[in-house]
Structure 1
Amino acid sequence: MSEEIAIGIDLGTSTSCVSVVQDGQPLVIPNEWDETTHASCVSFLEDGSVLVGNAAKRNIITNAESTVYSAKRLIGRYFFSDEVKKAQAVMPYQIVEGENNAVRIAVRGETYSLPDISALVLKEMKAIAETYLDRPVKKAVITVPAYFNDNQRQATKDAGRIAGLEVLRILNEPTAAALAYGFGRDVSQRVVVYDLGGGTFDVSILEIGKDVFEVLSTAGDTYLGGDDFDDRIMTWLADDFLKRTRLDLRQNKYCLQMLKDAAERAKIDVGSTGVADVLCEGICQDAQGKVLDLEARLTQDQFNRMVMDLVQRTFKVCDEALQSARMTAADIDAVILVGGPTRLPIIRNSVRHYFQKEPKEGINPDQVVAMGAALQANALMDSATETFLVDVTPLSLRIGTVGGYTEKIIDKNTPVPIDRSKSFTTSRDGQEKVKIRVYQGESNRADECEMLGEFEFSGFRVGYRGEVKIDVTFEINTDGMVNVSAEDPETGQKTSTTLTMSSGLSEEDIQRSIQANQQLQLAGHGEDLPAAAPRRGR
């Protein structure tokens, strides 16, 4: 292995994790408190410093308006999207609109992009690794949900750059989990990775041979995760309290935060012991000023009934992945569960019933993705490590056509890297520029797909309508991100290509964010590579 080291980071919706390969084995790196999973949470303090991780999560109630969490559900999205509207209704922090319909977070008089927020979490993972390894870390593989679109992947890569990391690769989370599962095993199996995280759900089907990991298909739902299970409990608690007191706790964001915290604890308790006793002391006051407590008992049967439709939604995605791979559940050799919510008995039992086999034991669902990312990082740094990884693009690539429709260029679940070309002709005499809108999605209607951007091509020969031919090549790289080039085949002249990402950051924005990020003081941190382990606000 070369002297320079690279780490793997699982940047999750609820929690994040960092890993490295040492002595040929993936190791999950703990912080100085021996914590291996860290809340993907950022709390901005009055003195200008910032808490990140588990210490920040403890500020969700006491510093609600200045503590940002679940940012991954918003990254790379448009301000007008359903997910952003939902977040605005329940999040205590302020979500505002930036340029080009981008999402921004307003905190203590400053405005931050979603990559800025995620960069702080990544910077904390980097600092944890540097403290443990006692050396600088500049390179990383970062994981994303398999169903992330190009905007979301680019925003995640931007976050890595802002955090001071060279992102070697953006790796799909289920693929990372399969890498960790197959590492060191001489197996030949078809494996399904059922990945239910805090904010997203993915399922991928892979074929594992000796040092070869081939993704056969992937499918997902970026609007489904453990947070949605919490929301069901929150609604149940709020409705019961409203029925008994005629007070709606959802009208106050402070009360809403107490509800969310109680709901998350209840989900964990009911999953581990079968019952959860909920107590929120002093959650609000009535009209007479009397302080009221919230008390409730949630049984496993009640919980199962309130979330069963969410569980069933995951298997519709499994159906889609199996169909795309031209397989049935009986063709699967092993099932790997990823993500904290997969510890819930209702998930494990439902997965067992669907696939007709026991999920693999001995795999930590919170750590396996980071370990796989570390293995991939190590392979990219060490030419002697032979691991052949074939991934797929999760979404079809399309071009907008007249009337608000789209034309498919690259099918979903096509192995990457891939490039495809399409020929276009000019639509009017003397035309000097051509504008083409590029989308990702499965609908032939443009408004039902995600627009990646609008490309403008120029520099080709000027002629009569339909006379000038332009070859446009669309390439999806190993990070799952789209690149475009254009050429006039008659002259061999390559045209200029300009992509405007509606929810991304310009190079100028990124450089500005890098400088601002360097000036932000992480509470408890000194230099980039501290001589002694820093205390992170515990």
Structure 2
Amino acid sequence: MGRAIGIDLGTSFCVAAVIENKIPLVIPNREGNNLTPSVFALTDKNEYLVGNAAKEYATKNPDKAVFSIKRYMGQDHRVLVNGRYFSPVQISVFILQKIKCDIESYLNEPVDKAVITVPAYFNHLSRQATKEAGEKAGFKVLRIISEPTAAALAYGLKRKDIKTVLIWDLGGGTFDVSILELDQGFFKVKAVSGNNRLGGGDFLQKLVDHIAQKFQIRHGVDPRKNIFFHQQLKEVCEKAKAELSDKRTANLVLSSLPGPDGALIDFETSVDRETFEEITSDLAQMMILPTKQAIQDARMEIENIDRVLLVGGATRMPCVQTIAKKFFCQDPYLKINPDEVVGLGAAIQAGILTKEIKDVVLLDVNPLSLGVETRGGLVARVIPRNTIIPASGTQIFTTAKTNQTSMDINVLQGERELAADNICLGRLDLTGIQPQPQGRSRVEVDFSIDADGILTVAAIDLHTDHKVSIHIDSANLISESMISEAIMDAEKHFKSDAENKKKIETLIKAENLVTTVDELIKEKHQQLPEGLLPDLNSLVLDLKNSLQLGDVNDIDAGAGMLTRFISDIGIGR
């Protein structure tokens, strides 16, 4: 029986760790490094390269390598590598297989189980794709957990003095904020937020653009337009960005770049930390809004946060540390390795699940609300955001039309009030519903999220017990970047969404009232006092006209008059 490990499957680098004598330890790869680049390459000899070998090969063959494939997990996306197309899952499998092989070689024993981390804002499709990659690489995936949660596990395993921890996780391609409560072995996630379009790679791109513009001003050529020189530019800028975390100035040397007349140019320049922070200031400020959202969702104040942890290599940048200190009014905790802490936390979770570590319980949450589309294009939330997982929820819905025999169930993820403004995860079509008057047929919709954050939805006709279900997997087309925009969009459109929701609810209420009164007139017209039927018909006709014109105030007023009239004359079911 093989060992269980923890894997931080990062955008830029991967880290693997294992529990030894109840302590998590990072395991180096075959090259002797703790970090394995998340890079895949295909040579002209049809040889697969992963990690350092692939990154070195990409220096002179950038068109035959792929970086940052994690950004596309869960999407219907294919990447072209040296004439062949690969899916994000396939490339992730190659990376995970190397990690598995390297660890087994180091430990000299089989490794067949793993806990794999993902950004807190990975949606259900991205999480399922990550799990699929792990299984295809030969692992039994014990759990998929969020990266900030893993970091908190690594930080707080033995701590009793700190209760509330906020984590800034700025990786190569994503930014996550998580707030956790640590209490006597319980790790409870209170709230998560983030931005999946913000990472260390975006800071790097700003520097690349800055140096490219300097070269272009001096020599009249944009080095970014040539794939080979663009790759060289990115590599020297990446090195300079790292140096600026420790030094005030970094030198950059580019060799053999083509000039306007075709002659090769050696280009040397420098950049200081002040300039770097100036050209990236907008990116650094983008960390604040998701942080405020997480604090609000956790229903606490900044003063309630006992400690701020910085996770991810990009948090080594002094500008990030300065903003953290200023915003939280405390020094961030810097006594952890930001590159390795997530992998260590994943190993701890693996140890918890295999009973190597006891008296620790992790309670993670669902980052965005889940629900279904209802009449009028509204959203009925079945599992609210920040619900502790595993979780389940059930709601009963009725038919919107008379003699309706089927129900199209649109499964949604997001915080907006209208279905069209949320993310569609999938659809179910429940057929065979017995024809009945409007609102008589009842359908139960069940949502279930497992510990990996993967969703299953089922719909059951309560009259016939006919059932359909859907497993939300990575086959659906959805952009991961839509997740990070969901909360910000909901906040931005809060007022207009509320107005639209009220308008639609008013329309639905009035339409239901008209249908009900029409049926009552047919059934009980002989019971009505003489002379009242024309008045009742007139009120119904006025409301129908208002519905056609669409004025909400007129509809609301007409519905109120009709309701009072019915109540006064004492008719009802």
- TM-score, with structure 2 as normaliser: 0.79
Query: Percent identity of the aligned residues?
Result: 39
Q: Which residue in 1 is equivalent to 2:25?
A: 27
Q: Which residue in 2 is equivalent to 1:415?
A: 388
Equivalent runs, 1:189-208 vs 2, <5 Å: 189-208=163-182
1:325-384 CA deviation, whole Å, 9 max, x = no partner?
A: 111221111111100011111111211111121222321101110111011111111177
Q: Note if 1:454 corresponds to 2:452.
A: no
Q: Note if 1:68 corresponds to 2:42.
A: no
State the distance in 1 between where 2:204 and 2:415 align. 30
Range that drifts further, 380-389 or 160-169: 380-389
Q: Note if 1:310 corresponds to 2:310.
A: no
Amino acid at match of 2:455: V
Q: Which residue in 1 is equivalent to 2:98?
A: 124
Instruction: Kindly indicate whether the alpha-carbon contact (under 8 Å) linking 1:420 and 1:474 is maintained by their aligned counterparts in 2.
Output: yes
SS state of the match for residue 135, structure 1?
coil
TM-superposed CA distance for 1:459, in Å, is 5.6
Q: Note if 1:226 corresponds to 2:224.
A: no
Q: Which residue in 2 is equivalent to 1:148?
A: 122
Q: Note if 1:483 corresponds to 2:483.
A: no
Higher RCO structure (Cα 8 Å, ≥6 apart): 1
TM-superposed CA distance for 1:243, in Å, is 1.7
Q: Size of the alignment, in residue pairs?
A: 477
Instruction: Kindly indicate whether the alpha-carbon contact (under 8 Å) linking 2:162 and 2:306 is maintained by their aligned counterparts in 1.
Output: no
Instruction: Kindly indicate whether the alpha-carbon contact (under 8 Å) linking 1:40 and 1:52 is maintained by their aligned counterparts in 2.
Output: yes
State the distance in 2 between where 1:384 and 1:368 align. 17
SS state of the match for residue 272, structure 1?
coil
Range that drifts further, 131-140 or 382-391: 382-391
1:27-49 CA deviation, whole Å, 9 max, x = no partner?
A: 10012332001100111112222
Equivalent runs, 1:43-122 vs 2, <5 Å: 43-77=41-75, 102-122=76-96
SS state of the match for residue 287, structure 2?
helix
Range that drifts further, 405-414 or 135-144: 405-414
SS state of the match for residue 85, structure 2?
strand
Instruction: Kindly indicate whether the alpha-carbon contact (under 8 Å) linking 2:166 and 2:177 is maintained by their aligned counterparts in 1.
Output: yes
TM-superposed CA distance for 1:289, in Å, is 2.0
Q: Could you say if the C-alpha distance between residues 217 and 292 of structure 1 is closer, same or farther in structure 2, counting changes exceeding 3 Å?
A: same
SS state of the match for residue 239, structure 2?
helix
Q: Which residue in 2 is equivalent to 1:6?
A: 4
Equivalent runs, 1:114-513 vs 2, <5 Å: 114-286=88-260, 288-382=261-355, 385-401=358-374, 405-428=378-401, 431-458=404-431, 461=434, 463-491=436-464, 493-499=465-471, 501=473, 503-504=475-476
Q: Which runs of 5+ in 2 are unaligned?
A: 478-573
State the distance in 1 between where 2:415 and 2:139 align. 33
State the distance in 2 between where 1:504 and 1:17 align. 29
SS state of the match for residue 28, structure 2?
coil
Instruction: Kindly indicate whether the alpha-carbon contact (under 8 Å) linking 1:258 and 1:283 is maintained by their aligned counterparts in 2.
Output: no
State the distance in 2 between where 1:110 and 1:435 align. 39
TM-superposed CA distance for 1:464, in Å, is 5.0
SS state of the match for residue 294, structure 1?
strand
State the distance in 2 between where 1:396 and 1:303 align. 38
1:422-465 CA deviation, whole Å, 9 max, x = no partner?
A: 22223456555422221222223445432211222346545455
SS state of the match for residue 413, structure 1?
coil
Q: Could you say if the C-alpha distance between residues 126 and 494 of structure 1 is closer, same or farther in structure 2, counting changes exceeding 3 Å?
A: farther
CA-atom RMSD in angstroms? 2.0
1:381-439 CA deviation, whole Å, 9 max, x = no partner?
A: 11772211111111111323456553433221122222111222234565554222212
Q: Which has the higher helix share?
A: 2
Q: Which has the higher strand share?
A: 1
Q: Could you say if the C-alpha distance between residues 496 and 8 of structure 1 is closer, same or farther in structure 2, counting changes exceeding 3 Å?
A: same
Instruction: Kindly indicate whether the alpha-carbon contact (under 8 Å) linking 1:459 and 1:496 is maintained by their aligned counterparts in 2.
Output: no
Q: Could you say if the C-alpha distance between residues 500 and 191 of structure 1 is closer, same or farther in structure 2, counting changes exceeding 3 Å?
A: closer
Q: Which runs of 5+ in 1 are unaligned?
A: 78-101, 506-538
Instruction: Kindly indicate whether the alpha-carbon contact (under 8 Å) linking 1:395 and 1:413 is maintained by their aligned counterparts in 2.
Output: yes
Instruction: Kindly indicate whether the alpha-carbon contact (under 8 Å) linking 1:60 and 1:67 is maintained by their aligned counterparts in 2.
Output: yes
Q: Could you say if the C-alpha distance between residues 447 and 42 of structure 1 is closer, same or farther in structure 2, counting changes exceeding 3 Å?
A: farther
State the distance in 2 between where 1:279 and 1:131 align. 38
State the distance in 2 between where 1:62 and 1:449 align. 43
1:474-508 CA deviation, whole Å, 9 max, x = no partner?
A: 122221221112223335x2502245757459xxx
1:49-102 CA deviation, whole Å, 9 max, x = no partner?
A: 21111221112231211201111112223xxxxxxxxxxxxxxxxxxxxxxxx1
State the distance in 2 between where 1:267 and 1:112 align. 31
Instruction: Kindly indicate whether the alpha-carbon contact (under 8 Å) linking 2:124 and 2:473 is maintained by their aligned counterparts in 1.
Output: no
Q: Which residue in 2 is equivalent to 1:514?
A: none
TM-superposed CA distance for 1:224, in Å, is 0.5
State the distance in 2 between where 1:243 and 1:298 align. 16
1:296-327 CA deviation, whole Å, 9 max, x = no partner?
A: 21101001111111111111111111111111
